[in-house]
Amino acid sequence: MKPTKIRSQRGQLLMSPTQYGQSALGAPLLYFPAQCPTNEAGLVFAGMHGDETASISLLSAGLRSIEHANLHHHVILSANPDGNQLGLRSNANGVDLNRNFPTRNWSGNGTVYRWNSHAETRDVHLATGTSGGSEPETRHLMALIERLQPAFILSFHEPLACIDAGRHQTLGTKLAEVFNLPVMDGVGYDTPGSFGTWCDEQEIPNITIELPPIATDDVTEVYLQGILTLLTNDI
């Protein structure tokens, strides 16, 4: 792993992001381009579900802890800034972006999620859009991926505490070692229109990294080393 900044120098993001689109409410959609561009450069992002904020803090801390020149992969801190600002799992239109991708199994019947990790059932309803890819956040992310052609994509979520590797077990095993999380094949329920399904249909290697339920105050204590290893090395 490359040398990192001392902690007193990690307060600001000194690297400048690039805008790749706008959210439903007009917020800029931003990404940080890889500075060591190779055929191995991937895309790493968080915040597709706006109420999952620990991974956003973790990715930000990682970017603030390294020299910009050592960034090996493209990074999106938040794929759903409206949801982050409003405290919503969905985007501002009430659509679960992780069920809005134009996959062969996309469904317009809506979806449900758990209110929190203590809830026994998934009973909170969200829309899935008027069609696959109906939301600006979804369309702009797909366009960015088409432009960047990343070697792989890692999406951070919470709170299932696993590496959902699907058909990409080799990559999943590497990430399990980095983050000390178990490898799983799926999350135990159907996810029509999900980002992972869309990536599979485009033949893009993709992994979902599910952090456990964790406070933003703790996430950099537990996972900072892992995110630094990820951002500064080819996988």
Say what the pLDDT of residue 1 is: 58
Q: Which residues are annotated as a binding site for Zn(2+)?
A: 49, 52, 157
Task: Tell me the CATH architecture of domain 7-154+212-231.
Answer: 3-Layer(aba) Sandwich (3.40)
Say what the pLDDT of residue 132 is: 98
* Residue 208 tokens, joined: 């979902």
Say what the pLDDT of residue 156 is: 98
- pLDDT averaged per 10 residues in sequence order, the chain, 235 residues: 86 94 98 90 98 97 96 98 98 98 97 93 96 98 98 96 90 94 81 95 96 95 96 90
Helices 216-231 and 169-179, axial angle in degrees (round to 10): 130
Q: Which of 135, 137, 158, 210 is catalytic?
A: 210
In whole angstroms, give the CA distance from residue 52 to residue 41: 25
Say what the pLDDT of residue 38 is: 81
* Residue 209 tokens, joined: 């990294």
Nearest CA among 76, 82, 117, 77 for reference residue 96 = 82
Taking every pair of C-alpha atoms in the chain, what is the biggest distance, in angstroms? Answer: 50
Say what the pLDDT of residue 152 is: 97
210 is catalytic: yes
Nearest CA among 73, 72, 102, 81 for reference residue 199 = 102
Contact 29/37 with Cβ under 8 angstroms?
Answer: no
What is the number of other CB atoms lying within 10 angstroms of the CB of residue 60?
Answer: 19
The pTM assigned to this predicted structure is: 0.95
Domain boundaries, given as residue ranges, for the chain: 7-154+212-231
Q: What is the pLDDT of residues 184-194, one digit of tens each?
A: 877 667 789 99
Contact 135/195 with Cβ under 8 angstroms?
Answer: no
DSSP per-residue letters across the chain: ------GGG-SS--SPPEEEEE-TTSPEEEEB--SS--TT--EEE--SSTT--HHHHHHHHHHHHS-GGG--SEEES-S-HHHHHHT-SS-TTSB-GGG-S--TT--SS-EEE-SSTT-SS--EEEB--SSTT-SHHHHHHHHHHHHH--S-EEEEE-SS-EEE-TT-HHHHHHHHHHHT--EESS-SS--TT-HHHHHHHTT--EEEEE--S--HHHHHHHHHHHHHHHHTS--
